[in-house]
Amino acid sequence: MCFLLVPQFALLRPANVVPASSISAGINKFVDGKASQPRVSPAPRVPPEAPKDFLSPEEQAAVRRAGKLAQMGRLGHAINALEGACQQAGGVLEPTAENIARLAALHPAASASPLPSLPANAPLGMPVSRTTLKQAVRRVANGSAPDAFGWSGELFRTLSADRDCEKALLLVSQAIRDGMPGTGARELLLACWLLGLDRGPRQPRPLASGTVLLKLGCQCTMVENSSQMKEVTTQEGVQLGMFAADGPIVAARLTGHA
């Protein structure tokens, strides 16, 4: 310690000469037991090793997409994005004969019996209110992919902000609700695109989307008759998950584990 207190006794010559008063003060502190410990330079800080990411680039993209969807309130879409990554989904299937046959096997043939006709006393021509149209537009503007003609719910939301376009949408929704479109118009309204998604060892998942205009007309009917339809489906058990938050997702989980 004496070598540290008196630089002249040190083995190395200091760069600066220490005044005698400082040396005397240091010796007095040492005698009184108050000498400070020599300064030790801190060890260099080693940055922590970055955690290894065990997710593949596809899985990382799915997590980012799920986060964005969750922030938008699309919880069902976010869950589907994460499930697709966990199930080692291989993207879109190639349109081979085998894959087309697998997709067709998931869809049984339609019933030969025609749909019942409208009762004679069914009301027709009742106008769709602007409030009903606004609620229907909010439902179809849910971030879904565009239909076969390139229309999306968000585009219809923009159109409905124009009064002239709003009047046209009211008339078209009314005609769809009352079943007025002819054969040619029905074929266009019922057109859809179909994709087969690879779900690994499981069956392929068909993904289809109809026209946004048809969805809008159906949503207007749902809005106008929501209370009656809720009562019927609750009493008769028509479909599990209807009129419930994330109803289709809940129904799929329950039926999948049954």
CA distance 59 to 88: 9
| pLDDT, tens only, 72-127 | 777 777 877 777 666 655 677 888 888 888 888 887 776 666 667 777 787 778 88
Among candidates 219, 215, 176, 208, which has minimal Cα distance to 103? 208
The set of residues, in sequence order, having a beta carbon less than 8 Å from that of 96 and lying 6+ positions away, is: none
CA distance 214 to 193: 14
Global pTM value: 0.55
Average pLDDT over residues 137-142: 91
DSSP H or E segment with residue 194: strand 193-197
CB-CB neighbours of 213 under 10 Å: 20
CA distance 187 to 214: 11
| pLDDT, tens only, 162-171 | 999 999 999 9
Of 33-47, 53-67, 225-239, the range with the highest mean pLDDT is: 53-67
pLDDT at 195: 81
